[in-house]
Structure formats: structure tokens, C-alpha cells
Structure 1
């Protein structure tokens, strides 16, 4: 077993109770990895509870154990000796007040984000992996952990969604090999694809229509930008997770090198989602300039402000 994995396991065996938490506005890798790791800790015999500050998206509620995830703040959370940050590129991704709440606790960090600053007592960070779920799969294999059907489904959800169904440039031979093994172990691919790729409601399509109406293209730079306002969600009867996939959709446009979705949030901030399929563009560097981070081909940021339209395109103003 590689050294990072050995340290990670030793910490999980040493400290109890253990809280697992993933990032706000969770995606398939966040929830899938969280649930897979929880199943591992349960079999170690340690008390464990999974957390997220936001609700599990509707498309991911089919995952085994999704209904056990809570919001942090209960007695178990307060008493946990160790906190495992799952798929969190930095501490703020899990919640704005988290840093203070972690004082005096052991922090374990398992992640694949390029921008991860290794903030944990133990850090298992492999940036070349397409998903945190891939890292967990390798950890389980090296530890000899028997992956059951439910855990396989959760891990496959992580890889499948973070690679945009094996279509983005983050997809590697390892991604496909891991997914193949998970299918052999009984991962429920039918429910996974039905819930994550063939699940668009009329409300979500109306919301996507708003985004397409506001699409602005810069043909010289190869940049596509669009906007979703906070009011769009109520007017379309849409949920927050109905916006997932818009930024990636824009990358299907011919001659577009980079796309960006700007989305107004209820707290007066703007979330930017950046995507690219261009080999020479690293959108994580752009996100860093805005205080965010992520991967070379998929990154994001959140800033205070509102969105306005100018003669030169969309602009965020404070």
C-alpha cells in the first residue's frame, strides 16, 4: 500500500467518532465518494456520519445511503475527533464557517483538485485522477477491501459524472479501467444513467432555454458566456441542480475554446462555472484569479456581486 493510503487508513483506525463532509452544491463525485468512504469506515467498526451543507441533488438521491447524509451541526458533528474532507479542493468548499469548527480536530483530506493546498493533517491528493472516486477505488483495492454492489455504484457515479459520461478531457485510461471493474462488481449502471443523463424535466429545459437565449459568443477568442439569474429558477419552476450541465453544453459549440456560465445565487453572490475542451487552456488558472479553483478543464469560482449586460457582454459588478 502506498504511503499516503497507509497514513489515511491509520488515521481512520485511530480516531473516533469520524465525520465525513463534502463540498457545498455537491455533484456526483462528491456524494458518491462520500457514501463509498462511509461504507468503508462502517466496516472498520468506527462510528461515522456523512455531512453536506446542501441537500443531495435529486438526480443523486437514488444512490444507496443518500438519505443518511445530514447537515453539519448535530451532536455527532460536534463530538467527532476526526473530520474527513471528501472532494474538497479547499476548506471553504465545504462551508464558510468550517475552518473555525475544525479547530482542535484531525483533518483528513482526500481529493483530486489541481488547486488543493494540502490543508489536512493527512493528505491523499492525486491531481491526475479524474475523480476522487477513482482514488478511493485504488485505496480500497490496495487495502483488500471487498467492494459490494452499493459501494461500486457510488464509486461509478463519481467517475461517470466527473468525466461528463467519459466525454471530457479529464477522462483517462484509468477512468475507463476503474469503471469497467466497478461494472464487474455489480455497479448499477442502468439507474446511474437514467438518473444523471436522461433525467431532464420540463422545468430544467425551460431553464436551459433562458441560458441559451442569453448566450454571447466571442468568435475571435472562442469564448461562450451565458447567464442564469436567480429569478429564472422560480419563473421556470426549476431547482438549483437543474442548472447542472449548462456550462458543459456550451462546449459542444463549434470553434468554442472555453465556456462560462454565470449564475446569480440567493445570497448575493455569483457562481462562475468554467469549462474547456482545448488542450492548451487551463481554466483553473482563470478561476484562481477570481478566488476559486478546480481542474484544468473544469473549474469554478464564487464572488460577491450582481450580473449586468454591457455592450461588450456580461459583467459582474459589486
Structure 2
């Protein structure tokens, strides 16, 4: 990892213009990684742009530079972009840019921690044992003697905090805790992050969660519990998609749930699924991959063009196969 980190740094120093790409519907890790990398590039006086297929949710606008993200794909026609850094994405489809990169001449740098990563870059800095992509970037900066300033520290700590569920889920490791401490020491604003992404539930969102909990269904024959949220639910409770984030992680608090599945209808007629487990003998990333998704052994996801009922039936078939 040390060698590839140095190779990436050496390439970046020669780059003319760098495009940073977090995955679509970016979470705290994706935006934290992208904005920390932007800060690093700015110190090298590089031309920089952050592109994301979808806008950054308002709840992550506290992260430094998060409001500079653009969504206009015309940037891919900019011939001065010679390096594209894809962050926190197991594949280019999840990043939302696969079609944009057909015959694109830029060098692709892939930095990620997902077990299902396809190593699609010219440079692949992939560590599947890392709790977050921002944890990988912390070590990348250290390997190249890059000073982590307070803004970078806050961005990196955002990714680590959100991907570990505030240092409480299965991704939390000795390394993650040590890196978290170092980032706070470097000026990372943990109180800001905690208030923005942990203590951020409105009365309306909790009512929505209550509806999802009422629908919670236990399927002992499939070692699974599941629930769902519809577009109508969001309209009735006057909340947006982001208010459903965290339901799957919360359900992981159930006693021996096996597989936790939370399904959500999206605005474009798709169904997004979140899979969780606390069991060491279950790998939900393998299930997600069969639905063209991906992720980690204990936390994964997918998006399919179907109905909630059809997705539940499909998953039951896959679990019995």
C-alpha cells in the first residue's frame, strides 16, 4: 500500500487538471474523501473539480468544500482533465460515470475500501480492511508526508464517523479508533460532525421511522428481517430520501437478526436496498452483488428496477439457492 500511495502521489504531481468523483448519492465517507483530496490537491496548486452524478444533500454541507461539487457531465468534455480520481466506489457504474469514461484518455485512480471493488483504475489503492475510504486517505497522506490540516481532518473524520456508525458498528477497528484520535488531534471537529450527522433527526423523520418499524417483518425460514419505505410515505411525512438513512444500521441492534433488509422506493422508479448483518458467517455483499450491487461483508446495498414485492421475492429465492 505504501508503494502504490507514493506512485499515486508522484502521478498527481505531474497532473494538469484533476477531476474527483465520489459515488452517486454521496454519503459522509464519499464527500469526506472527496473534499479532503481536494484540499490536498489545492496545496499542490492543481486545477481541480469535484463531479458527482447527484447533488450533495444539505445535511453534508457542513463538510469543507462540499458546496463546490458540480453535477454537469459536460466536464467530461474538458480536454484539460488528464486525471480522474474515483473515491469510495467499487465500480464505475456505482460511481455513475461508466458511460462517460468510454474512450476517455484520462488516467483513472481508484481509491476505495469495498470488498467488491473491481480494480478498474490505472492505479488502485484498495484496502478492504479499512473502515472507510477516508481511513485509507489518512494513511495515503501519511505515506507521502502530507500535513493534514484541520479542514482535511474534519473531512476525513466525517467519513470515518459515518461509516462506523459513530464508532459503534462492525467496521469499527483498532485502526479506525486510532485514526479517529489522530484526526481529532489534527483539528478534526468531532462535535460539528456529531451534531450534523448523528443528532440530526426531526420529529417528521422519526415518525417515518416509526412507520418503517411497524412494517418490520421477520422471516425465520430465510434468517432475515425486512421493512420498506415508499414514495408515498415520504410525501405524507414531508421528508426527503435522506431521512431514511440509518434505519438499516438501527435494525442491526436486533438480537441475532441474521440479515437485515431495508427497501426504499426512489424518485426515478427504482428500489434501493440496504443490507446489514452482525453475523461473521454471513456475507451480505455476495447477496448484493447478485442484484448488481456491492459493498462489504456486513454492510452492502443495491438498486434495481422493480417493485418492493418483487425484490423481496427475488431475495428469498437467492437465499434459498
The TM-score with structure 1 as length reference comes to 0.93
1-structure distance, mates of 2:110, 2:78: 19
User: Post-superposition shift, 1:266?
Assistant: 2.0
**CA drift at 1:82:** 1.2
**Residues 1:84 and 2:85 are matched in the alignment:** yes
**Aligned-pair distance for 1:173?**
0.5
Q: CA RMSD in A?
A: 1.9
Matches of 1:201 and 1:2 in 2, distance apart? Answer: 43
Match of 2:295 in 1: 294
Matches within 5 A, 1:25-40: 25-40=25-40
Query: Shift of the alpha carbon at 1:316?
Result: 6.1
- TM-score calculated relative to the size of structure 2: 0.93
Which position in structure 2 is the counterpart of 1:50?
50
Deviation, 1:81, is 1.3
Q: CA deviation at 1:133?
A: 0.3
Moved more, 49-58 or 133-142: 49-58
Which residue is equivalent to 1:61?
A: 61
2:65 and 2:169 map into 1 onto residues whose CA distance is 28
Question: What is the CA–CA distance in structure 2 between the aligned matches of 1:17 and 1:253, rounded to whole Å?
Answer: 48
Match of 2:171 in 1: 170
Alignment of 1:191-206 (within 5 A): 191-206=192-207
Matches of 2:46 and 2:30, distance apart in 1? 21
Q: What does residue range 1-318 of structure 1 map to in structure 2 within 5 Å?
A: 2-75=2-75, 78-79=78-79, 80-95=81-96, 98-100=99-101, 103-219=104-220, 221-308=222-309, 314-315=312-313
Higher deviation after alignment, 34-43 or 201-210: 201-210
CA contact (8 A) 1:33 1:133 kept: yes
Higher helix share: 2
Deviates more, 1:49-58 or 1:159-168: 49-58
Q: Post-superposition shift, 1:241?
A: 0.9
* Alignment size in residue pairs: 314
Once the two structures are superposed, residues 267-309 of structure 1 have per-residue CA deviations (whole angstroms, 9 ceiling, x without a partner) of: 2211110011111111101111111110011001111111238
Q: Give per-residue Cα distances to partners, 1:245-270, cap 9 Å, x unaligned.
A: 01111111123122011111122211
Q: Secondary structure at the match of 2:31?
A: helix
Contact 2:76 2:100 in 1 (8 A): no
Q: Displacement of 1:56 after TM fit? A: 1.4
**Residues 32 and 155, structure 1, Cα contact 8 Å, conserved in 2:** yes
Distance 2:34 2:103 in 1: 18
Residues 253 and 5 from structure 1, CA distance in 2 versus in 1: closer, same or farther, beyond 3 angstroms?
same
Alpha-carbon shift at residue 219 of structure 1 (Å): 3.6
Give, in angstroms, the shift of residue 90 of structure 1: 0.4
Q: Structure 1 unaligned runs (5+)?
A: none
